[in-house]
Amino acid sequence: MNERLSNKKITNAFNNLLKQDFMGSQYEWLGIFAQNHKEIEMSIHKDDKAIELILKHGKLKKMQDELGSYYVIDTDNSSKDCIVLFGNLRFPLADYTKLQMKEEYEKMKLSDIIDDTWFCFNPINGKPCGYCNPCKYTIEEGMSYRFSNEALKRYKKQKKILFRIVGKVKKIIKKIIKYFYLKLKE
């Protein structure tokens, strides 16, 4: 990370999109890296948060070459920031969910390979933690079998805590609204 290239235009595009939506910092440096290594394939998939972000700010265009089909950013129908950040990348898995990819691997008798992919930001004893965003997304995308019971307990505990916090915030907001409503009536 310390030796990565910099690109103000891409950093600005990343920051502009970040003001509107959450996304991981890896998209900034992948965008910068792709500036010097055109047409790198990014394996984000149909149920990936990054695809949701791209489709919110633009469109994908299907392309074909000798290796098969893939998607690129549709420069005619995407925001400037989306084009700048993701425009040098290819997205060959944009049509697939994680479960569909697993099915394809199983058809090819290679299902053990998909379980060797890595996603966790905070591994515990070399295993997925269950609470970082990539772990949460993997569980929510139907791949909970890849987690230990301990990781699934951490995931569920975090969801309960978040649910309680959201509930408390809702109560506070209702009290504030009620207070101002009564004040306006006076």
CB 139 within 8 A of CB 147: yes
Percentage of residues in the chain having pLDDT higher than 70? 96
Query: Could you give the number of structural domains in the chain?
Result: 2
**Average confidence (pLDDT) per 10 residues, the chain, 186 residues:** 76 94 88 88 88 94 93 97 96 92 90 81 92 89 91 89 74 82 76
Do 110 and 79 share a structural domain? Answer: no
Question: Same domain, yes or no, for 82 and 107?
Answer: no
Question: Assign residue 20 a region: left if phi > 0, alpha if psi is -120 to 50, beta otherwise?
Answer: alpha
Give per-residue pLDDT as tens, 32-75. Answer: 999 888 889 998 988 888 899 999 999 999 999 998 999 999 99
Residues 144, 74 within the same domain: no
Residue 52 belongs to domain spanning = 1-96
